[in-house]
Amino acid sequence: MAGPVATPVPKLVDVARWLWIAGACVGMTRFVAELFDRETLVAEARRQNPALGQDQVDAAVDRGVLFGLVVAAAFLLVYTRLANRMAHGRNWARVVLTVLGVASVAFGLFRLVAWVSGAAGVEMRPLDLAVTVVTAVLETTAVVLMYRVPGHFRKRGAVDSALPRT
């Protein structure tokens, strides 16, 4: 007996999948770039605890960078798995991605408005500005595309009429 036939992924949903993955990659690239700005990390560690010696500061920064890389890899893995689940018709993954995307875009817009207005001392370097705009565009487009093919996310389970209803 043959296994279940896999339904093809609609083009718009497939594009949405790759937009989610691309958005996560862009965000992680900025994060990793910040992790390798050792001078800033050392200065921040010294500011937070001036009593530490240089060896302790270096060790703390090294641990922080390693932890940051693990978090970045986990984040990218989670986004990729969610995007793949969504592409295979899992509505829960579409909902989770929607919530994450809307929150990310809202936070990005909040940062942009705060930066433009000069409120709350928000600083944005050109790289931060570019990444914020690019990820907002990618994630907004991905959310819209996911909802353009609603039939792909309908339940696929068949109802067995032989089971008694209660």
Q: Distance of CA 95 to CAs 20, 82, 90, 98, Å? A: 13, 10, 9, 5
pLDDT digits (tens, 9 = 90+) for 26-71: 989 888 888 888 888 888 888 888 888 888 888 888 898 899 899 9
3-state secondary structure of 9: coil
Quote the mean pLDDT of the chain: 85
Nearest to 16 by CA among 106, 105, 103, 89: 89
pTM for this predicted structure: 0.79
Q: Which two tokens stand for residue 81?
A: 């798995």
Where residue 118 falls (left for φ over 0; alpha for ψ -120 to 50; beta otherwise) is: left
